Amino acid sequence: MSLHPVGIIGTGKYVPERILTNQELEQMVETNNEWIVTRTGIRERRMAAAEEATSDLALHASRQAIQAAGLTAEDIDLIIVATITPDMFFPSTACLLQDKLGATKAAAFDLSAACSGFIYGLATASSMIASGLYKHILVVGAETLSRITDYTDRNTCILFGDGAGAVVLGQVEEGRGFRSFELGADGSGGELLKVHGGGSRVPASAESIEGKQHYIHMAGNDVFKFAVRIMGSAAEDALLKAGLAKGDVDLLVPHQANIRIIQSALNRLNLSEDKAMINLDKYGNMSAASIPVALAEAAEEGRLKEGDCLVLVGFGGGLTWGASVLIW
């Protein structure tokens, strides 16, 4: 696919210390541990400390990824931060991160594709390296979803958590690296999952706050149906583009939204559950951070062997989706 083979040369992750359990949520909204576990698979999630914002979570994950790649911050040519919870409107979280890292030679921008943001970031970065424009790109998925979650809304507050994952992309040897990307969007489904207020359509005001428009609103069941359809088909299309078959897959690293969505993707790909990296029981849905955190944990746990065929796949607000096939 590429002029120079491009792959992931370092991974890192960070999750805040504070754990929010299902039992604590039982005290906050009309829900129960059993409902949450059976309907979603989530048992607990992390919450950023009051003084932590998205760039702080991103910083820890990025330092780890850069170190794992055997590089220093000054070796990074570009920083892409995929997030829907930037520290502020602008400057971008990527610029804030660039300063914190001391990555003085890096260009920096944020990318908004909700839970698919990390895959969109990988596609963007890998093309820029393949073309010879840049050598080393830091791609981060980082979120503090707790800041836009309504903890009186049981439809959403049980799902989301905070965290950050990062990777460094660079040239790899022949036979390894990214084989394909499959990105997509359906803006007609934008209403299904959104934060309506605080932008240019509905600027922040006493009324927008009163109307809770600064929080995530989601038509859960419609998003669920979309996710079940798109996870399998995006993964299949990415495999087809890569010239590989379902049976070639060693590890699926899916967006961690709901265990039932992951299971349906596994069924469609004829894969058993041990072929998927699953950590949503510990972290819930961290939007753009879910896939890179899962990838970093797979690396930590020794689940990534040289030559393994990995499929990364996610979906989210927009609506958006993305899948990638890579050889580790």
Q: Residue 46 CB, nearest distance to ligand UT7 (Å)?
A: 16
Q: Is 154 near ligand UT7 (CB under 6 A)?
A: yes
Q: Given 255, 258, 279, 309, which residue is catalytic?
A: 255
**Which residue, 223 or 311, has its beta carbon nearer to ligand UT7?**
223
Q: Which residues in 230-269 contact ligand UT7 (CB under 6 A)?
A: 257-258
Measured in degrees and rounded to the nearest 5, phi and psi for residue 301 equal: -85, 5
Q: Is 214 near ligand UT7 (CB under 6 A)?
A: no
Bridge partners, residue 326, by sequence:
178, 310
Secondary structure class of 312 (helix, strand, coil): strand
Q: Is 95 a catalytic residue?
A: no
**Which residue, 68 or 259, has its beta carbon nearer to ligand UT7?**
259
Could you tell me which of 53, 288, 83, 89 has the C-alpha nearest to residue 199? Answer: 89
Q: Which residues in 19-48 contact ligand UT7 (CB under 6 A)?
A: 31, 35, 39-40
Sketch the per residue contact string, 103 through 132, with ligand UT7: x for CB under 6 A, - otherwise: ------------x-----------------
Total binding residues for ligand UT7 by CB under 6 A? 20
**Which residue, 155 or 233, has its beta carbon nearer to ligand UT7?**
155
Q: Residue 220 CB, nearest distance to ligand UT7 (Å)?
A: 3
Q: Is 115 a catalytic residue?
A: yes
**Which residue, 84 or 310, has its beta carbon nearer to ligand UT7?**
84
Q: Is 221 near ligand UT7 (CB under 6 A)?
A: yes
Answer whether 13's CB lies under 8 Å from 61's CB. yes
**Which residue, 128 or 262, has its beta carbon nearer to ligand UT7?**
262
Q: Given 95, 115, 157, 309, which residue is catalytic?
A: 115
Could you tell me which of 100, 102, 98 has the C-alpha nearest to residue 110? Answer: 98
Write the DSSP string, 75-133: G--EEEEE-SS-SSSSS-HHHHHHHHHT-TT-EEEEE--GGGHHHHHHHHHHHHHHTTS
**Which residue, 117 or 197, has its beta carbon nearer to ligand UT7?**
117
- Parallel, antiparallel or unpaired: strands 193-194 and 217-218: antiparallel
CA 23/CA 37 separation, integer angstroms: 11
- Candidate ranges 61-69, 129-137, 214-222, 236-244; the one touching ligand UT7 (CB under 6 A): 214-222
For the record, the structure tokens of 295 come out as 């990838």
Q: Is 33 a catalytic residue?
A: no
Residue 169's H or E segment, with its range, is strand 162-171
The alpha-carbon radius of gyration of the chain (Å, integer) is 19
Q: Is 227 near ligand UT7 (CB under 6 A)?
A: yes
Q: Residue 219 CB, nearest distance to ligand UT7 (Å)?
A: 9
Answer whether 111's CB lies under 8 Å from 117's CB. yes
CA 243/CA 263 separation, integer angstroms: 24
**Which residue, 55 or 149, has its beta carbon nearer to ligand UT7?**
149
Measured in degrees and rounded to the nearest 5, phi and psi for residue 90 equal: -155, 155
Q: Residue 123 CB, nearest distance to ligand UT7 (Å)?
A: 19
CA 38/CA 290 separation, integer angstroms: 20
In the list 224, 248, 250, 281, the residue contacting ligand UT7 (rule: CB under 6 A) is 224
- Return the active site residues: 115, 255, 285
Binding site for ligand UT7 (CB under 6 A): 31, 35, 39-40, 115, 154-155, 158, 193, 218, 220-221, 223-224, 227, 257-258, 285, 287, 316
